[in-house]
């Protein structure tokens, strides 16, 4: 299953190569839409169908409201930030390790108080202002985490 999810992201690389303009200004919209469809589609569809409606109808097919819907969910906000960052670079080759990392960090960043992760992921997380809302301590070095722990 992880291989399949990595292949899905790799397939998006190829789609974006055909339409490179989407890497410039609308990348988060693209990734948000795929996240809503692929990762959340079953959950959202079941919930909406139980109300005899669809997510599109619930947000009046309004782009701003749809963005707010995906961006308001903590784990999805983190996952989309990381995926959009990786998709910004069309030389990035998606692996199952990327999927592992995103799955883990999408939970850890919003719901934990501190996260120690690899340099590349950490750099992306701390440079994304949309994730400041979580106020998660993300040390660059293990010694920094040690000091933070001692000061608890």
Partner 1 sequence: MATTYQLSNDVIWPSDLQLPTRPPALVYLDMLGFINLAEVAVGRNAATGYDVLLPAARRARTEGRALFPLSTTHVIELMDIADPQRRRERVAIMEELSGFHYLVGRPEIQQLEVEAALNSIPGVNIAPQDPIPLIGPSLLWAFGRQGGLVTNAPDPDALATHICEEMGIDPGAEPMATLNRWAERELLAGPDDEDPDVRASGFDPQR
14 binds partner 1 (CB under 8 A): no
125 binds partner 1 (CB under 8 A): no
| Torsion 79-117-136-138 (CA) sign | negative
- Whether residue 125 contacts residue 109, with contact meaning beta carbons closer than 8 Å, is answered with yes
Task: Report helix, strand or coil for 137.
Answer: strand
- Whether residue 99 contacts residue 32, with contact meaning beta carbons closer than 8 Å, is answered with no
16 binds partner 1 (CB under 8 A): no
Q: x/- binding map, residues 19-58, to partner 1, per CB under 8 A?
A: ----x-xxxxx-x-------xx--xx--xx--x------x
**Both structure tokens of 132:** 């400041």
**Both structure tokens of 144:** 């920094």
Task: Report helix, strand or coil for 54.
Answer: coil
Q: x/- binding map, residues 56-95, to partner 1, per CB under 8 A?
A: --xx----x--xxx-xxxxxxx------xx-xx-------
Residues that bind partner 1 (CB under 8 A): 2, 23, 25-29, 31, 39-40, 43-44, 47-48, 51, 58-59, 64, 67-69, 71-77, 84-85, 87-88, 100-101, 103-104, 106-108, 110-118, 130, 132-134, 141-143, 145-147, 149-150, 152
């Amino acid at each position: 299953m992880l291989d399949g999810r990595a292949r899905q992201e790799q397939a998006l690389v190829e789609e974006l190569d055909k339409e490179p303009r989407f890497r410039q200004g609308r990348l988060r919209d693209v990734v948000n839409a795929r996240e809503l469809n692929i990762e959340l589609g079953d959950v959202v569809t079941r919930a909406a169908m139980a109300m005899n409606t669809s997510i599109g109808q619930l947000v009046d097919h309004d782009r701003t409201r749809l963005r707010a819907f995906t961006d308001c969910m903590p784990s999805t906000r983190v996952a989309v930030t990381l995926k959009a960052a990786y998709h910004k670079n069309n030389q990035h080759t998606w692996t199952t390790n990327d999927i592992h990392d995103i799955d883990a960090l999408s939970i850890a960043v919003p719901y934990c108080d501190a996260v120690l992760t690899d340099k590349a992921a950490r750099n992306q997380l701390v440079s994304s202002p949309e994730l400041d809302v979580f106020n998660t301590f993300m040390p660059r070095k293990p010694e920094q985490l040690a000091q933070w722990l001692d000061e608890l």
